[in-house]
Amino acid sequence: MQIRNLKVFCDVVRRHSFSKAATDNAMTQSGASQAVQQLEEYLQVQLIDRSKRPFLLTAEGNAFHAGCMEILRQFESLTEEVRSIGDEVTGRASVAAIYSVGLSYLPDLQKAVKERHPEAEVRYQFGHPDEVYRLVEQGMVDFGLVSYPQSSKTIAATEWREETMLLVAVDSHHLGSCEQVAPSDLASESLVAFAPNLRIRHEIDRYLRHLGITMQIAAELDNIDSVKHAMEVNSAVAFLPENTVREEINHGELVALDCPWLDLRRPLGLIQRRSGTLGRTARGVLELILSTSQPAGKEVGSCGRGSQGRRVKPTGQVNGNRRANIA
């Protein structure tokens, strides 16, 4: 039984396709199919039910896939360690992130990784929070980047940074002309909210209850881009992380309302399997990400309108002493 066959099998499962897995491994589709068949003959069990479209893993296939992922990860880590003794980081790493973190931070992180480890290959995947946790738990990626990170029996979470939450509206919204917005001003306003199954929604709801504010829900959505669009359609406001709206504020498309009472933050963190062993490249990328916690020019104070109703753009200043408050 060859290591390559294990990798082909895992790639078939990851890509949900024999042809795509074959391309990843520079072989024909027939070769990929034969690699899986050889594993089935060796194990004397069926790993993939090919009678279904798309194909499905059997119970034996699921169990074997989980074990293969661990074997391949350990083999890759060992190979990388041996080849890289005394040399530059040259291996591979895989990272999963929720969409908002991926869009806001990964471009700069990719640049930093390229500068620090030019020979390293890092693969990124974006997904829903539950998907990121699943990818990490199943060993499909080395680690994940999520909001409101939580540890469990199988997952270890590490604090990374926290984002200031702003109350934002489209430029034409009537609250945009107010010097300051009081909590009572929101009683008659519509709110574009996050979907009820997201942690950020729970935290915003809890904060509003703490302030004694009840708002009419105009829409419930599961991603920040949709929230931004719905704000304009519904002439509503929304609570969003500053880093995700900085560009729109700078371009005058959105305005951050001046709310001196607002003290709401979204913590971000890294998650990884407790039983997993990170290779040298993955460790290097993880350490690099953690070293960017609260970097200069990235975390900024609230932006909004000044005392004369004038827009105040992000300053780029950092509160280096702030710690993530994971609720």
The structure tokens listed for 292 are 């960017």
pLDDT of res. 80 = 65
Kindly report the pTM of this predicted structure: 0.67
Domain's final residue, options 58, 83, 108:
83
What is the per-residue pLDDT for 258? 95
Phi, psi dihedral angles at 229 (to 5 degrees)? -65, -40
Higher pLDDT, residue 145 or 115:
145
Q: What is the DSSP letter of 211?
A: H
pLDDT band for position 296 (cuts 50, 70, 90)? very low
Q: How many domains does the chain have?
A: 2
Q: What is the mean pLDDT of the chain?
A: 83
CATH code: domain of residue 195: 3.40.190.290
pLDDT greater than 90 at residue 51: no
Residue ending a domain, choose from 263, 288, 311? 263
**Residue 148 domain-assigned?**
no
- State residue 297's pLDDT score: 30
Is residue 107 pLDDT above 50, yes or no?
yes
- For residue 119, pLDDT over 50 is answered with yes
* Mean pLDDT (whole number) for 151-161: 92
d(CA 244, CA 265) in angstroms, rounded, equals: 13
Start-to-end CA distance of the chain, whole Å, equals: 48
User: Helices then strands (H, E): number in the chain?
Assistant: 10, 11
Give the confidence band of 84 by pLDDT, cuts at 50, 70, 90.
Answer: low
The residue-averaged pLDDT of 278-286 equals 85
Contact status, residue 205 vs residue 158, Cβ threshold 8 Å: no
The alpha helices in 44-98, defined as continuous H runs, are 59-83
- 299 domain residue, yes or no: no
C-alpha distances in angstroms, 138 versus 55, 60, 62, 64, 246?
A: 19, 15, 10, 12, 35
Write the burial class of residue 296 (CB in 10 Å: 0-12 exposed, 13-18 middle, 19+ buried): exposed
287 is a domain residue: no
- Exposure letters 142-165 (e unless 16+ CB within 10 A, then b): bbbbbbbbeeeeebbbbbbbbbbb
- Domain limits for position 233: 161-263
Residue 302 lies in a domain: no
Query: Which run of H or E residues covers position 102?
Result: helix 99-116
Answer yes or no: is pLDDT of 312 > 60: no
Higher per-residue pLDDT: 240 or 313: 240
Would the pLDDT of 101 be above 60?
yes
Domain annotation covers residue 277: no
291 inside domain: no
Cβ neighbours of 256 (radius 10 Å)? 26
Is position 327 within any domain? no
Band of residue 139 on the pLDDT scale cut at 50, 70, 90:
confident
| Higher-confidence position of 119 and 144 | 144
Q: Could you read off the pLDDT of 177-203 as tens digits, one per residue?
A: 899 999 999 989 999 999 999 999 999
* CATH code of residue 73: 1.10.10.10
> If you average pLDDT over residues 222-237, what whole number do you get?
93
Cα three-residue angle 153-156-161, rounded to 5 degrees: 145
pLDDT in tens, 14-48: 888 999 999 999 899 999 999 999 999 999 999 99
The string of pLDDT tens digits covering residues 248-267 is: 999 999 999 999 999 999 99
Task: Give the rounded percent of residues in the chain with a pLDDT score beyond 90.
Answer: 55
Q: Do residue 167 and residue 259 come from a single domain? A: yes
pLDDT at 88: 59
Q: Quick one: average pLDDT of 202-228?
A: 93
**Mean pLDDT, to the nearest integer, of 59-86?**
78
57-61, 95-99, 311-315: the lowest-pLDDT one: 311-315
Average pLDDT over residues 113-137: 89
| pLDDT (mean) for 290-303 | 48
- Res 318 pLDDT > 60: no
| End position of a domain, from candidates 217, 239, 263 | 263
Is residue 73, in this structure, part of any structural domain at all? yes
